Amino acid sequence: MAELTVEKGKVVKCSSDADLGLIVYNSAGGLVYDSSDCPSFTRNQIGTQATTNVLTVLGAAIEHATKPFNATALISLHNMQAGDTFLVTCELRDQNDATYREYDRKTYAGVQVSPMVHVLPVMCQGWRMKIQRTAGSDRDVTYQFFKEQ
């Protein structure tokens, strides 16, 4: 295992998408943090899609036939302008009949001061997002979907 000494207040950056395991010890050698205790997410999809005036699936659904997983997403609404309104919904697959059912809905309007939207992780066996332009002009939206390993 490679060792790295970091001064207090400094940021450590990784230049690849590889999983970065992190174990932190205090000066006395006691374990402070072990990232292997936390869920590890990998990027499942990345893309750009134009909005329309119809509620449309963003990317493709993330599914697993038998094993529940955590899913999360980042979408960028950086192209929104004054007068634009977008509806973003998240849906989970109902295991009883394989139908997707909405569990979250948010509306975004105008220029976004903080354009990156993070969808909190949720445990499921099927997950997808939809987006709809309800006012203004169609815009490109970029997205990244993540699935727990």
Alpha carbon of residue 119 to chain centroid: 5
* pLDDT tens per residue across all 149 residues of the chain: 455 555 555 555 444 444 445 555 556 665 544 444 455 666 677 788 888 877 788 777 878 767 888 888 889 999 999 999 999 999 988 878 788 999 899 999 999 999 999 888 888 888 889 999 999 999 999 988 888 76
This prediction has a pTM of 0.68
The pLDDT of residue 137: 93
Taking CB atoms within 8 Å and a gap of at least 24, the contacts of 91-95 are 91/127, 91/128, 91/129, 91/130, 92/122, 92/124, 92/126, 92/127, 93/61, 93/63, 93/124, 93/125, 93/126, 93/127, 95/125
Half-sphere exposure of 50 (CA within 13 A, CB side): 4
Instruction: Please give the C-alpha separations between residue 119 and each of 29, 32, 89, 96, 144, in angstroms, as whole numbers.
Output: 37, 28, 10, 24, 10
Residue spans per domain, the chain: 41-148
Residues recorded for the chain: 149
pLDDT for position 35: 46
Quote the pLDDT of residue 96.
80
According to DSSP, residue 111 is labeled: S
Q: How far apart are CA 34 and CA 31, in angstroms?
A: 8
What fold characterizes domain 41-148? Answer: Jelly Rolls (2.60.120)
pLDDT of residue 83: 96
What does the pLDDT read at residue 43? 64
Residues near 120 by Cβ (< 8 Å), separated by ≥ 6? 72
